[in-house]
Structure 1
Amino acid sequence: MEPSKSSDDKQVAPPRRVSFKYRSGPAALRCLSDGLVYFAKPSEFNDCLEAKFDHSSVADYIERMDRSIRSVSEQRSCAGGYAVPEGDLASFEAKTACDDVNFLEATQRVGIYSTASRPDNQPMWTYYSDNSKGFCFELEWPDTVLGRYQIAPVGVLYSSAARVHNRADIFDTLIREEAELHPDWSMDQILEETRSEFFRFRFQMLNTCRAVSIKHSDWSHEHEVRFVTPRAGPLPIMGQILKRVYFVRTDFPEWGPVMMLLHQLYPTVELAKMSFQHVEPYVRVQGMTKKLVPVHE
C-alpha cells in the first residue's frame, strides 16, 4: 500500500446522504464477499430496551390531535379542532387499542441497519471494530436505493425519560408540513389531504421509524443514524452504497483478504488509513491506493 498522490477534488458537490458502519474483520469479510447489507430485527440488537415503549392514552392522543389542528387552523384565521363525541368514545377506544397492537407488531417486524455519523469515533473502533482490528465503511445512500427497497433514514433520539409513544406527535409534524407546502389551501383542503393514502403511508412509516429509534442517553456517544425497512433481512446493496473503507491496523488475519476483495469486487471504492494521536492533528486520514505486486518464486 502507498499514499495516494492525487489531491482531493475541490469542486463543489451536491449534498450527500452519508453514514459509517464499523465492522470487525470477519464481519467485513462476510458482507463484502456476499454483497449483502443485513437489516436486523429489534430483538437482535444488544440493547435490552430496543424498540420498547408504551402507547399514550386515548385522552392524550385526542388532546394532541386537537392541539395540532387548532394551531394550524388559527394560522389560517379559522376555527378548528379534534374531538370524539361521547357516544362514540367506547368504539374509538376499542379501535385505538386494536391499532396499538398492530403498530407494536409492525415495530417488531422492521429491519434496522445501524450506522454512525462519523468514522473517527474511538470507542466505536474499539468495541465494534474489535479494538481497531477491523474496518469502517463509508456508505452513501442514493435516493434510488432508498426508494427501491423502501428504506427510511432516521436519526436516533437519546433520552432518559420514560418512552411513551403518541402517534399524534407525527400527525402534528405532517400537518404542519402540509400547511407550509400549501399556504393557499383552506383548512378543509389540508384536512382532506390528511385522509389521503400518501399521507397515511407517511404517517405510519414515520411513526414506526420514530418508535424504533429512541435509545437511552447512555448510548448517546454512538451518534447513531438508522436505516429502517418494513421487514428484516438482507438486501443486495453493498456494491451500490460502499464508497470508502477506513482501517487503523493491518495486523489481523482478515486484512489481506479484505484488500483482495476490494480490488476484485469493488475497484472504485476508496481506501484510507486512519490514525489517532494525542497531539494535533488528533485524527489523521491518509488516502491510499491499491497496487498489485507480482510475486516471483
Structure 2
Amino acid sequence: MSHTAHIPSHRKPRRSASKIALRAGVAGGVLSTLAVAAAAGTANAAEPVSETIEMPTLTADLSAQIAQSADATQQAADTYESRAEQDAAAAKAAKQAKEDLAKAEKKAEAERKAEAAAKKKADEERASRSTERTSLSTQSATGGGGSTASNSVAPASGSVGAVISFLKAQLGDAYVMGASGPNAWDCSSLVQAAFKQAGVDLPRVSQDQSTMGTEVGTSNLQVGDILYWGGKGSAYHVGVYIGNGQYLDAANPGKGVVIQDLSGYPASGAVRVL
C-alpha cells in the first residue's frame, strides 16, 4: 500500500459519459433556440411594420348621445320639410285667392253693365209708355164724348182699341195693392185707367166693376170685355179680355202687369161696357 493512499486525491472526478451527453444536449438545445430566435428576428426585421389602432368602445352614454343627435337631425329635416309644404300651400292659396278675386271683379263688372243696360231699357220703355199714354189721352179727348159709369154705356167708335193699347203699354209695371199708376197698379185701378182712355168712368174697386155693363157668358167673349173672378158684386179680381183666349191684368206682386191664358185661370164671369 502506498504511503499516500490514505490521502484524498485532488483530481476532479471524471464525469460520466451520460452526464456529458446530457450537457451537450442542453447546450445544443440552447444554441438551437438562439438560432431560431435569431432567424425569427431577422425575418421580422424584413417584414413591414403595421400599427393596429384600437377603436373606442361604445359606452351607453356615447350611444345615447349618438341617438339624440340622430333624432335632432331628423326633427330638423321634418321641420324644414313641413315649412316647405306650408310655404307651397300658402303660395297656392294666394294664387287661388288672386284668381277668385279677378273672377269676382269680372262678374261684378258684368252685373253692373247688365244692371245699367236693364235700367236704361226700363227707362226707355217707361218713356215710351208715357208717350203712348199721352197720345191715348189726346185721342180719347178728341175722339168723342164719354159717359158716366152706368149700366148703359155708349163709347165712341174705336174706343176698345184705345183700352187695349193702354193696357199693353203698362206691361211689366209693378203690382202694388192700392196703387193707381203711373208705374204701379192693382187689378181694378188698371182696368179703371184703361177704360178711362175710352171715356168710360168705372168704379174703383173690382166688386163694383163686376156689376157694370151687360153680363156676358165666358164662352161668348169679345175683345175689351171685363173679366171678373168671384161672385158678381163680390169679385176679388178683374182683368180685360184681349182675344185669342188671353187676358191682361195686374196679377200679383210676383208677376206685375202681364198677359195670361184663360185656360190656366178661368174667369167666373164677364161684363161688356163697350
Relative contact order, higher structure (CA 8 A, sep 6+): 1
State the TM bucket, normalised to the shorter chain. Answer: under 0.3
Decide which structure has the larger Cα Rg and report it.
Answer: 2
The structure with the largest helix share of the pair is 2
TM-score (norm 2): 0.19
The structure with the largest strand share of the pair is 1
